[in-house]
Homo-oligomer: A and B are copies of this chain.
Amino acid sequence: MRVTLKDIAEEAGVSLMTVSNVVNGKKARVSEATRERILRIVRQRGYVPSASARSLAARSSRLIGLLVPAEGDGNLTISPHTVEVVGTLERELRRHDYHLMLRGIAETAEINEALRSWNLDGAVLLGFQDKVIDRLTSRTVGNVAIVAMDSYSENPLTLGVRSDDYTGALLATRHLVALGHRRIAFAGPAFAATGVVRQRFEGYREALREAAIPWDETLQNTVETTHGSGREFGRRLAAEHSGATAIVATADILAIGAMEGLTESGLAVPGDVSVVGFDDTEIARYVTPKLTTVAQDLPAKASVTVRLLLDHLLRAETPEKATTLDVTLIERSTTAPPTA
């Protein structure tokens, strides 16, 4: 059967605890000589500690939940830039001997269940609505370290990490304004009083205000974050003659869909209409013309998340306030001055 601490202890002629201490690197508690002897036996017998036994006895699982919304019976909702973050997360966490448990969440109650069932030491909430984060209570999350990524929730039980969505949209819109655009459409999913999309919308509005461009409600478009929906939007924009000469989209995929819709309708990008995306996903560089977009600092997002998690886990540090990461406008080829 499985090799246990006891086996090693017997073979080494020491007690269980000594082996345990060696395995856990508690150097202060064991002499260098026995330490080395035990380590050799451990390697030779191929001993691997049992995570469940540890988790049970130590009340710490060294397990971090990677919680992702799973709409209804459907699939997980994993956006491309999320994937990149996850890769880095896993690596960093593993270096500290923490492991990731991937879990789709259909109803809020499942967050609680996941946390308690596996005795998670922490969790990263990826892409949940602010209102879901808001609802988390200390009863449901206990004392685990929770990072809510891309959330603007003020819930003090969670550590927020997000990009500066407001400034991103501000930069994008200013860029358009500077090029001479006056009628700039906004395209994004429905949003509430708080959240990523709301921030982006407000940044856009602010840039308009700065330029003293009067607000026209018809420029605000509610569109799903999909290529198809973006395409429809592009077609509609072309058909409506709303006079819009530029689009700020809340996602690259949406922007790219819009470009296709526009082009199909006989409008040129950026000749007739300029387009700015958001996220700087890989595809932004692969479409023609290459998409001007707002880039997030994904590596920073991952490392901040890990740092926050570890600070809380190791030093039980008080959650500082939410971290907002810088954002940059990447000017490529989908923006140009409006044609007179």
Contact = CB atoms under 8 A, between A and B. Distances in A.
Interface residues of A, number: 47
The quantity of this chain's copies bound in the complex is 2
Interface in A58-84: 61, 66, 70, 73-76, 78, 80, 83-84
A30 interface: no
Interface stretch (A10-18, A44-52, A145-153, A181-189): A44-52
Contacts of A74: 91
A283 interface: yes
A271 to B, nearest CB: 15
Interface in A276-323: 282-283, 285-288
Nearest to A55: B52
A288 B287 contact: yes
Contact of A94 (B88, B104, B286): B104
Contacts of A80: 80, 83
A287 B287 contact: yes
Interface of A: 2, 48-53, 55-56, 61, 66, 70, 73-76, 78, 80, 83-84, 86-88, 90-91, 94, 99-104, 112-113, 116-119, 227, 256, 260, 282-283, 285-288
22 contacts: A48-B117, A50-B56, A50-B117, A51-B117, A51-B119, A52-B52, A52-B53, A52-B55, A52-B118, A75-B84, A76-B86, A76-B91, A78-B83, A86-B102, A94-B103, A100-B101, A100-B102, A100-B103, A227-B282, A283-B283, A286-B286, A286-B287
